[in-house]
Chains A and B, each alone.
Chain A
Amino acid sequence: MERPRIPLATAAASPPRENLPALALLAPFLIAFLLFFLVPAVETFWLSLTESSLTRTSAFVGLENYATLVQDTSFWDALGNTFYFALLTVIPLTAIGLVMALLVNRFVAAQGWLQGVFFLPFVLPISVMTLIADWMLQPSSGVINHILGIQRPWLADPTWALPAVAIGTVWWTVGFNMLLFLAGLRNIPAEQYEAAALDGARGWKLFANITWPALRPVTVTCLILQVIASLKVFGQTYILTSGGPFNTTRVTLHYMYETAFTQSDAGYAAAIAMAFVAVVILLSLLQVWIVRWLEKRES
């Protein structure tokens, strides 16, 4: 006897699509995503091809903004300052973050306190950091000059202004990198250490043979995230030095901000934004390639 066909059986083999419920659940996000990400993203590109102010779009000018940008020494100076800031911050932020994680991991009794002290600055608003830094760096009443026994106007000195902002930034954000390394350290199985200890490895050797190789992926993640974060510097320099003295601390985003909001040249500012995005993406890709190349060479 033939069984009657059950329509539900085919449905069970390939469950029905849930287009409508999905759309309903996604709608709030999609609307926000469209309005506050996708449209502005496309618009940045479009604006960069026009001559526009902050309030109105005038003429399509093709690549004219980009042609100006290539010749604009202010832009290259700002990009140079940004790279210099990245140079001053990326290595210390990674190295100190690693050292902090090792210390937190080693001194179990003080773990909570150490981690708290190292991470706390990271959760504070940027202007708390800049207010304290500005006070500590005051030429005559600042505590730094008192300790060093000098009267240097740190933030008004073309040589020292950007390094001073960089040191404040290291204090402010290193806790995040410590957290990444700490997670990496906790993922190393204890047996690896035990096996190496049985072979007589101690102290430095344990670190060189086990800890450091195991932390490679985290170090790479940390470096890539840090380069991006450092390139995006703006608030610290804007608040502490307003880009001065003599524009030595005016970074790329600061130049974009000035172009858009003080000069009201939205078209040119959009071209700067596009160039900035290109630099960030290229540098990230470059790092990934370097890491792959190093890994290939080793194996």
Chain B
Amino acid sequence: MNGKSNLGWTVIGAASAVLLAALWAAPLLWALSTALRPELETVSADFHWLPQTWTLDAFARTLGAGNLLRWLFNSALVALSVTVVTMAISLMAAYAFSQLRFRGRSLLFGLAMLAFLLPFEALLVPLFRTMNQLGMINSYAGIVLPQVVSPVVIYVFKQFFDGIPADFREAAVMDGAGPLRVLWSVYLPISGNIVWAMAIVTFIAAWNNFLWPFIIVTSNDMMTIPLGLTQTYDAFGVRYAQLMAAALLGALPVALAYVLFQKKVTQGFLAASGLKG
């Protein structure tokens, strides 16, 4: 009786796993199937799940026309800059909050954590006005800078540093090493795991950020991928094979990053949500 109901659950479970996985894979597979056809086939009245003629034409045209390569370059530059700057300033700040004794430590830390409460969306209007006054509209600095304030990253690093035994630091301080040197040569080497995880997550978030580039960028040449892909109707017209090719090319870098570093990505997102992986 019990064995039977267990088998029943296993069958139901396996069936739902297959069904859900198929549903979740379907949109990307359908995009791929569309991108591999000649344009005429996408509007043909005859419906086919697979291309009747297989061709890379749509990919070639997408890369040739429009600004896709430029947007990919912009995204790479912006996401890398955001990641490097965020890691550098957050590691230094987290180290200070965790290991140094100074006046106003808890007040400043509390203030920094306030940023958790206030959604970035609420700051758009004044941020745009400031950037406008600084002449940073349509500039890389304008896109990058507001993205480097990341209380989550500081919080995760501080938690990690808090867990490191104090004698670790004392030995280095006795040798007369300054704080930056201690952070670099004592703390960083043992934090590799968490630093990589947060770096990858920061990179993906910056690559995918839509809202801020949408506000600060108006020129087609300065657009990042998430923003540029919304302009593809203008670039290619309603040509679905090319639109799907563009979508897949835009998805490829982050999809690859995820597939290559699956464990780190998972760990990073969990740490950022306040849960341990």
Contact = CB atoms under 8 A, between A and B. Distances in A.
User: A and B from one assembly?
Assistant: yes
A114 B24 CA distance: 10
A280 interface: yes
A207 B208 CA distance: 37
A32 B108 CA distance: 14
Interface residues of B, number: 97
A125 B204 CA distance: 9
B178 A131 contact: no
A15 B99 CA distance: 12
A123 interface: yes
B16 A131 contact: no
Interface stretch (B53-61, B191-199, B248-256): B248-256
Interface in B80-119: 88-90, 92-93, 95-97, 100-103, 105, 108, 111-112, 115, 117-119
B163 interface: no
A171 B250 CA distance: 18
Interface in A100-157: 100, 102-103, 106-107, 110, 112-121, 123-128, 130-133, 135-136, 138, 141, 143, 146
Contacts of B123: 36-37, 40-41, 44, 273
A99 B229 contact: no
Given A18-B100, A127-B227, A127-B250, A273 B124 contact: yes
A273 B148 CA distance: 22
B121 A273 contact: yes
Given A26-B93, A32-B145, A54 B273 contact: no
A171 B102 contact: no
Interface string A214-244: 0000100100010010001011000100000
A52 to B, nearest CB: 8
A18 B179 contact: yes
B contacts with A: majority SS: helix
B159 interface: no
A202 B14 CA distance: 17
Contacts of A253: 121
A171 to B, nearest CB: 6
A103 B20 contact: yes
A73 interface: no
Interface in B208-250: 208, 210-211, 214-215, 225-227, 229-230, 232, 240, 243-244, 246-248, 250
Interface of B: 2, 5-6, 8-9, 13-14, 16-17, 20-21, 24-25, 27-28, 30-31, 34, 42-43, 47, 88-90, 92-93, 95-97, 100-103, 105, 108, 111-112, 115, 117-119, 121-130, 132, 145-146, 148-149, 154, 178-180, 183, 204, 207-208, 210-211, 214-215, 225-227, 229-230, 232, 240, 243-244, 246-248, 250-251, 254-255, 257-259, 262, 265-266, 269-270, 273-277
10 contacts: A21-B96, A41-B118, A44-B123, A121-B27, A123-B204, A124-B255, A125-B207, A128-B250, A132-B247, A232-B119
Given A116-B258, A203-B5, A234-B211, 11 more contacts: A33-B111, A35-B145, A110-B17, A120-B24, A124-B254, A125-B208, A125-B251, A128-B251, A135-B240, A239-B230, A277-B118
